[in-house]
Amino acid sequence: MVLVTLGVALVVVLWRAAWRPARNVVTIVHEAGHGVVALLAGRRLSSIRLHSDTSGVTVSRGRTEGPGMVCTALAGYLAPSVLGLVFAGLLLGERVGAVLVTCAVLLLGVLIMIRNVYGVLSIVLTGAVLFAVSWLATAEIKAAFAYLITWFLLVGGVRPVFELQRKRRRGQARDSDADQLARLTGAPGLFWVGVFAVINTGALLIAAAWLLLP
């Protein structure tokens, strides 16, 4: 089951036709990461918007510079991989229920802050799938679903980093998280893209070691 769900996650992430709709899930976690860290940094979360092109925007109020703003900007691209690593740890302890409950809490928290119709629709559809599996499926299917979510977040957390750098090369992402971090810290945007890539790839490798090695 672990290998099969990994294979399915790889197909979804690498096959463009499947990746486009599935990427909305990564965007939900990305924006949730911004929101959670903003709150932890003492900022006031104003709104979250999800767009049909799979982009998103999280607006928080507070100081426009400083460690809190840096951590908030840093959190988005790292959130899917970090959450996937947490889920891998839970699955290592056979805590399937904890994975599903965490997903439900995350979706509810984002739904409260959503301020556009497409965002609400994305959250409701994702929540409907989660609800159906949690309440109607057998224990084996729940476990497979939890592994699939975990692998998808881990593998799906890596691809957007490379997509980001392609857009940056074309001059299409001047307000990306990496470029915001460059303005906040003085370190070049490419450095921050590298940070995203190293951390997310590391999370994938660690989780793979946990779940695949005897």
pLDDT in tens, 173-188: 788 999 999 999 999 9
pLDDT score recorded for residue 29 = 97
Model pTM greater than 0.85? yes
Which whole number is the average pLDDT over 99-108? 96
pLDDT over threshold 90, residue 133: yes
DSSP assignment of 39-96: HHTTPEEEEEEE-TTS-EEEEEES-SSSHHHHHHHHHHHHHHHHHHHHHHHHHHTT-H
pLDDT score recorded for residue 213 = 86
* Burial class (CB within 10 angstroms; exposed 0-12, middle 13-18, buried 19+) of 1: exposed
DSSP state of 114: B
pLDDT in tens, 138-157: 999 999 999 999 999 999 99
Domain boundaries, the chain: 2-212
Q: What is the mean pLDDT of the chain?
A: 95
pLDDT over threshold 90, residue 71: yes
Residue type, 11: V
